Chains A and B, each alone.
Chain A
Amino acid sequence: MNQLHFPILSTIVFLPVIGALLVSLIDSKKETAIRWVTFIVLLLDFLVSLPLFFYFNSSTYQMQFVEKVPWISSLGMNYYLGIDGISLFLVLLTTFLSPIAQLSTWSGITQKTKEFNIVLLLLQTGMLGVFVSLDIFLFYIFWEFQLIPMYLMIGIWGGPNRVFATMKFFLYTFFGSVFMLVALMALYFLHHAYYHEYTFNMVTLMSQPLPANLQFWLFIAFALAFAIKVPMWPFHTWLPWAHVEAPTAGSVILAGILLKMGTYGFLRFNLPMFASMTHQFVDIILIISLIGIFYGAFVAMVQPDIKKLVAYSSVSHLGYSMLGMFALTTIGIEGSIMQMINHGISTGALFLIVGIVYERMHTRNISEYGGLASLVPIFSVFFMIFTLSSIAVPGTNGFIGEFMVLFGTFESHKVFAIIAAFGGLFAAVYMLTMFKRVVFLKPLNPKLLKLTDFNLREWIYMVPLVVFVFWIGIYPNTFLSKMHASVNHLIEQTKITNVNPNLNGKVSFDNKVIIKKSGLKG
């Protein structure tokens, strides 16, 4: 179904590539022109993506704005794009955050500006592709593709330890992806073995699940790839490295969007495709999420580096997201999606805030700051708003997500929700301690005295974020109403464990059987 009769998703996905081509034609010395062109392309991309929101039909769970063109028909591959209520906001979040992130680089990135902007544009394509692909092969291509620009972004424009950080980031996530690739292929062949059809079509794969015993390894392989990306405890150690070394825009996109690819993957693959395994893994994942919530908070508390602190807080926040998701209730999953969006906005904003002072002070050590409230009041007010949003004070977006997650979890797993409710306490501890040491107290460091407050550009990119902090906090229905149908359908899917009663699942993992069944003779 494509209500616009126009390949809008392809336009959104590939517009940045066109932008990248345009930028590559500009003389690399004309930095301002490059920045403007990139910004306009990204802004245009955001504007083009807005009709998705307005024309979105919230009464159906079916994929919308679908584009389906045969690609390699003999292998069952299609160029198949579409979104539903789950991916809609991730697409919008991406197109919304990217121009903001780009604006933050105008003063931060002074080396190789042209290359940076090209990389940023390509990254945008990769991320959007992940969220809109409905063909798992296409999905995998985009999934791996976006790694490369991110790898370059950290590796070239990063901090002093960037090479180590970028290698760790790349190898770690790639390690997970390899398992996913294997699982994808296994899924493809197993699906043929049971349904006599070669397909990479996500929707088909979701609606025709495999027998329970076959799902086990597939679930683990997918879960590993996504858990590293989220990152769930204990696969999180690449995150502080990557965040600390990445340039501001890199951190914003990394925290705001890239991490959501992991949670999105869980929603798209693990929950609907391996429903019966999902039910078996619920307890383990809930426990890991809880550990993540508290562990992230505790470790964040003692970080001397602001960026590291925010990075560990991401572990904690996404713990909530995973908790709500694996509660397997409508409210839990909606809360989980809200939490993803909120995390994108408030943590993204916190990284921007850190970037703003870092640009001026060239340090991220909390101990070198203090007393910013009297020196840069506007900055401090914005910082405060995002801090509050991060610790889920009611009225801000954070509260909506967190409360929905808690209630969704409570419906199915009371004890977990009760324990998780105390997570907010530690969030307050680490955020407010950091806030106090940076913004309150007396400015002891003489270097701080020459700090300047927001300039126009910074105003422009911070204000939209504040608007969303309060919009979601006060009237979340705008967003929630679009998700209901899709989330309810997802819940239905997780309840179905075996569509075809004739599939008794006696086929084991013996490859001979698969080969025989799939007709692939040696």
Chain B
Amino acid sequence: MKTLVLLIIIWPLIGFLINGLFGKWTKNYAGIIAASALGLSFLSAVYPIWQVILGNIYDYVYFTWMPLGKFSVPFGLRIDSLSAVMLFVVTFVSWMIHIYSNGYMKGDPGYARYFTYLNLFVFSMLLLILGDSYLLMFVGWEGVGLCSYLLIGFWYDKKTASDAGEKAFVVNRIGDAGFIIGVLFILFNFHSVTYADVFPFVHQVLTPETATIIGLALFLGAMGKSAQFPLYIWLTDAMEGPTPVSSLIHAATMVTAGVYMVARSNAIYDMSPIAMEVVASVGAFTAFYAATMALTHKDIKRILAYSTLSQLGYMFIGVGVGVYWAGIFHLMTHAFFKGLLFLGAGAVMHSMRGLLSTDLMGGLKKKMPQTAILMVIASLAIAGIPPFAGFFSKDAILAGALEMGHPIIWIVGEVTAFMTAFYMFRFVFTVFYGEEKVPNLYHELHVHEAPKVMTIPMWVLGVLSIIGGWVGLHVSGEIPIEAFIARTAPTLEVANEAHYSEAFLMGFSACVGLLGIFTAWVIYIKKWITAESIANTFKPIYTLLANTYYVDEFVYFFIVKPFWWVSEFFLWKIVDVKIIDGGVDLFGWISKRIGWLFRTLQTGFVSHYAYWISIGVMLLTGWYLVRII
């Protein structure tokens, strides 16, 4: 078993090494190698996951990684119910996306390099979720960040792509600093960073203040990785990467790491109401804020990116109000349907030769029927229509928020749910329904349905987008997924838990979703009200949204630029060159000047020297005489 658990993370590493070292030779087989590595990884994971469902927990230590004086950080892997869910999602979705990538990336000059990075990513991601200590999680955490950097900048000769990759890495580093600070506090207080040494002792060791500091520091990390306000700015730019990457890294797996981390640290968060409040509020704000930006965007990938931000916000509401299982549940269903949405967008891009604007699309259903159906399924799932997957998880989060006593967050959540349904179906209707907007464009581009290697993984995710939420149904008095996740991350216990009719809440949520779809139908299919007229009526708001609140511009002109300017023109050219180095040179200059002064004594006439010598002798003798007398 110990070996089997290790094998889960070793397979992608092997794939990485093969493609990385011998990419020149594996060239056309790189995709197959990578996908089989993932398949093997998934198969290795099945049995441990099953055992965990049966009630086992695995925690194996392989070697001591970092000895720190009295304590040490082991390299150990842990599978419990929380990591089992993540393990399933990551290995399975990654596998699907690897298969899909075989078709999508065909013919790209960087084919082997792409799969090298992708395997490295899965390795890091697995390390993140299976690592049995915070520090090992951090290794995976930075590792996935690195792969994200590499994959966003995959087409490195495009300046926008390289810039986006760098931006992602740097913004993430802000969060990482927070994570590291959290780890330092944990290590300092618990003398260990292993989960097994931390969580059982939280109440003995931590004061609420310390718990708040740790919680907030860790959440700063989560904000970076999971792109929460205000550290979300990298995620939309991250769409410069290949679309399967957006699907895998920037929707299904990596960006959800923050949610996983907060759920993992539930014991610490439970002690700190302040930290939880911050998590839930930031989540709610991001959910709403990102959804508003998705309303007006015309770039299909960016619509999905904002939608991802918004859904991540939901997950943080879930873990922030204390219903950890709901957050993780939504993470799982989101991985299915958002992964699918991106793959669908990728299929569209693939046949549209990389065109992204909804202005150029319309009526694609005729050309790409399978993709269209799948996109509708995924959109229904994200819009929260029963019995699709997203309905159950989103409902669990919102009901949880209400029960835990956060009515405002609930309202924000429902409003966001309406917007979600609206913008997703705006997307579906404008891209797949209606008429072809640019005549003959499809004909010229030879728009066609995606090949099988791409549609099959999409279908698999499509099925999961439907049935994936059914683990959230009541079965004999309990919800299976809740019971399962609560083994590791028990729901926060609050004194006066509010109770609401579950049926009513579910019905309400479903209605909100349907209303959103109806609104989109009215505007984009029936055209009773045109989008243009709405945009014209609310011109200032529309402009603000269409420019995504000018946040990027703000960051550039008020943070990046001044920072650069101060570094270059003040710190370097003035402080360093003029003041510090100038000071050093001044020292040399003074010595030289003094030398010049004495140089005038150096006449070159021997007699003058002799004269000075005799004066010196006289002075010395005189001084000596004075002393002895």
Direct touching of A and B (C-beta under 8 Å): yes
Q: How distant is B16 from chain A, measured CB to nearest CB, in Å? A: 12
In contact, B181 and A172 (Cβ under 8 angstroms): no
A-side interface residues, number (CB < 8 Å): 54
Tell me which residues across on chain B come within 8 A of A477, comparing CB atoms. 64-67
Find chain B residues with CB under 8 A from A388 CB.
146
- Whether, in the assembled complex, B163 has its beta carbon less than 8 Å from a beta carbon of chain A, the answer is yes
Complex contact B580–A330 (CB within 8 A) = no
Question: Given A299-B572, A480-B67, do A441 and B170 touch, yes or no (CB 8 Å)?
Answer: no
Contact with B along A398-437 (1 / 0, CB 8 A): 0110011011001100000110011011001100110010
- For B, the interface residue count at a CB cutoff of 8 angstroms equals 46
B157 touches A330 (CB 8 A): no
Decide if A234 touches B580 in the complex (CB within 8 Å): yes
Distance, CA A399 to CA B135, complexed state (A): 11
Q: In the bound complex, do residue B580 and residue A237 qualify as a contact, i.e. CB atoms below 8 Å apart?
A: yes
Residue B69 CB within 8 A of the other chain: yes
**Which of chain A's residues have a CB closer than 8 A to the CB of B165?**
436
Does B468 belong to the interface (CB within 8 Å)?
no
In contact, B68 and A407 (Cβ under 8 angstroms): yes
Contacts A237-B576, A298-B567, A299-B567 given; does A395 touch B139 at CB 8 Å: yes
Contact with A along B577-612 (1 / 0, CB 8 A): 000110010001000000000000000000000000
Q: Tell whether A474 is near chain B: CB-to-CB under 8 Å.
A: yes
What sequence of 0s and 1s flags, for each residue 249-291 of chain B, a beta carbon within 8 Å of any chain A beta carbon?
A: 0000000000000000000000000000000000000000000
State whether the Cβ of B623 lies closer than 8 Å to any Cβ in chain A: no
* B153 closest partner in A (C-beta): A440
Contacts of B159 in A (CB 8 A): 441-442
A474 to B65, CA, bound (A): 7
A440 and B67 contact, Cβ closer than 8 Å, known pairs A168-B584, A302-B568, A421-B181: no
B365 in the interface (beta carbon within 8 A): no
Chain A nearest CB: distance from B574 CB in Å? 11
- With contacts A299-B567, A393-B146, A403-B180 taken as known, whether A440 is within 8 angstroms of B162 at the C-beta atoms is yes
Is A302's CB under 8 angstroms from B564's CB?
A: yes
Asked if B66 and A302 make an inter-chain contact with CB atoms under 8 angstroms apart, the answer reads no
Contact A394 B139 (CB under 8 A): yes
Contact (Cβ within 8 A) B170 A440: no
B113 to chain A, nearest CB (A): 9
Q: Is B429 an interface residue (CB 8 A)?
A: no
A1 at the interface (CB under 8 A from B): no
Q: Does B240 contact A (CB under 8 A)?
A: no
Minimum Cβ distance to chain B for residue A391 (Å): 8
Task: Check B169 against A394 for contact (C-beta < 8 Å).
Answer: no
B63, B153, B180, B184 — most chain A CB neighbours (10 Å): B180
Contact B169 A407 (CB under 8 A): no
A481 contacts chain B at the CB level, 8 A cutoff: yes
Contacts of A371 in B (CB 8 A): 157
The residue in chain A whose Cβ has the minimal distance to the Cβ of B576 is A299
B177 touches A439 (CB 8 A): no
Contact with A along B416-447 (1 / 0, CB 8 A): 00000000000000000000000000000000
Contacting pair A394 B143 (CB below 8 A): yes
Whether a CB of chain B sits under 8 angstroms from the CB of A475 is yes
Question: What B residues does A303 contact at CB under 8 A?
Answer: 572
Is the Cβ of A417 less than 8 Å from the Cβ of B176?
A: no
Contact with B along A493-512 (1 / 0, CB 8 A): 00000000000000000000
**A452 at the B interface (CB under 8 A):** no
Q: Quick one: which of A399, A400, A421, A433 contacts B184, CB cutoff 8 A?
A: A421
Least distance between A381 CB and chain B CB atoms (Å): 8
By the criterion CB–CB under 8 Å, are A424 and B173 in contact? yes
Contact of A432 among B67, B142, B169, B576 (CB under 8 A): B169
State whether the Cβ of A15 lies closer than 8 Å to any Cβ in chain B. no
Are A400 and B177 in contact, CB atoms less than 8 angstroms apart? Answer: no
For A399, list chain B residues within 8 Å (CB).
Answer: 139, 142
- A393, A410, A440, A481: the one contacting B156 at CB < 8 Å is A440
CA–CA, A301 and B181, complex, Å: 24
A450-484 vs B, CB cutoff 8 Å, 1 = contact: the mask equals 00000000000000000000000011110011001
B95 within 8 A of A: no
Known contacts A299-B572, A429-B170: A403-B66 contact under CB 8 Å: yes
Q: Say if the beta carbon of B121 comes within 8 Å of chain A.
A: no
CA distance A509 to B66 in the complex (A): 47
Inter-chain CA distance A403–B139, complex, in Å, is: 11
CA A195 – CA B166 in complex, angstroms? 60
- Given known A-B contacts A237-B580, A394-B143, A425 and B156 have beta carbons under 8 A apart: no
B71 nearest CB neighbor, chain A only? A331
Residue of A234, A407, A418, A481 near B67 (CB, 8 A) is: A481
Q: Are B68 and A432 in contact (CB under 8 A)?
A: no
**B511 in the interface, Cβ–Cβ < 8 Å?**
no
B139 to chain A, nearest CB (A): 4
Interface status of A171 (Cβ within 8 A of chain B): yes
Cβ distance B257 to chain A, nearest Cβ, rounded Å: 14
A406 to B183, CA, bound (A): 11
Chain B hits for A433, CB < 8 A: 166
Interface presence of A238 (CB below 8 A): yes
Within B201-253, the residues touching A (CB, 8 Å) are none
A441-B173 in contact (CB<8A): no
Residues of chain B from 34 to 78 with CB closer than 8 A to chain A in the complex: 63-69
Q: Of the candidates A238, A374, A418, A474, which one forms a contact with B181 in the assembled complex, judged by CB atoms under 8 Å apart?
A: A418
A116 to B163 CA separation, bound complex (whole angstroms): 42
Asked, given contacts A299-B576, A406-B180, A417-B184, whether A428 binds B64 with beta carbons under 8 Å apart, the answer is no
Q: Is A274 an interface residue (CB 8 A)?
A: no
CB atoms of A331 and B157 under 8 A apart: no
Q: Using Cβ atoms and an 8 Å threshold, which residues of chain B touch A394?
A: 138-139, 141-143
A234 to B577, CA, bound (A): 11
Q: How distant is the Cα of A429 from the Cα of B581 in the complex, in angstroms?
A: 25
CA distance A421 to B220 in the complex (A): 13
C-alpha spacing A329/B169, complex, angstroms: 32
Cβ–Cβ < 8 Å partners of B571 in chain A: 295, 298-299, 302
Q: Which residues of A contact B180 (CB under 8 A)?
A: 403, 406, 421, 424
CB distance from B579 to the nearest CB of A (A): 9
A215-245 residues at the B interface, CB under 8 angstroms:
234, 236-238
**Complex Cα distance A441/B163, Å?**
9
Please determine whether B63 and A475 come into contact, CB atoms closer than 8 angstroms. Answer: yes
Identity of the chain A residue whose Cβ is nearest the Cβ of B69 in the assembled complex: A330
Q: Which of B135, B157, B588 contacts A374 (CB 8 A)?
A: B157
A168 to B143, CA, bound (A): 42
Q: Is B504 an interface residue (CB 8 A)?
A: no
Q: How far is the CA of A410 from the CA of B182 in the complex (A)?
A: 11
Closest Cβ of chain A to B567, distance in Å, is 4
- 0/1 per residue, B549-578, Cβ < 8 Å to A? 000000000000000101110011000100
Q: Does A373 touch B at the CB level, under 8 Å?
A: yes
Q: Mark B169-207, 1 if CB is under 8 A from A, else 0.
A: 110011011001100110110000000000000000000
Contact A301 B576, beta carbon cutoff 8 Å: no
A479 to chain B, nearest CB (A): 10
Give me the interface of A with B, judged by CB distance under 8 Å.
Answer: 168, 171-172, 234, 236-238, 295, 298-299, 301-303, 329-331, 334, 371, 373-374, 388, 393-395, 399-400, 403-404, 406-407, 410-411, 417-418, 421-422, 424-425, 428-429, 432-433, 436, 439-442, 474-477, 480-481, 484
Instruction: List the 5 shortest-distance A-B pairs measured between CB atoms, nearest first.
Output: A302-B568, A237-B581, A440-B156, A394-B139, A440-B162
Taking A440-B162, A476-B65, A476-B67 as known contacts, 6 extra A-B pairs with beta carbons closer than 8 A to each other, sorted by chain A number, are A299-B571, A404-B66, A421-B177, A422-B177, A425-B177, A432-B170
Question: Could you list 29 examples of A-B contacts with CB < 8 Å?
Answer: A171-B588, A299-B567, A299-B576, A331-B69, A373-B156, A393-B142, A394-B141, A399-B139, A400-B66, A407-B184, A407-B187, A410-B185, A410-B187, A418-B184, A422-B177, A424-B176, A428-B169, A429-B170, A432-B166, A432-B169, A436-B162, A436-B163, A439-B156, A440-B162, A441-B156, A441-B162, A442-B157, A477-B64, A477-B66
Q: Which positions in B face A, CB cutoff 8 Å?
A: 63-69, 135, 138-139, 141-143, 146, 149, 153, 156-157, 159, 162-163, 165-166, 169-170, 173-174, 176-177, 180-181, 184-185, 187-188, 564, 566-568, 571-572, 576, 580-581, 584, 588
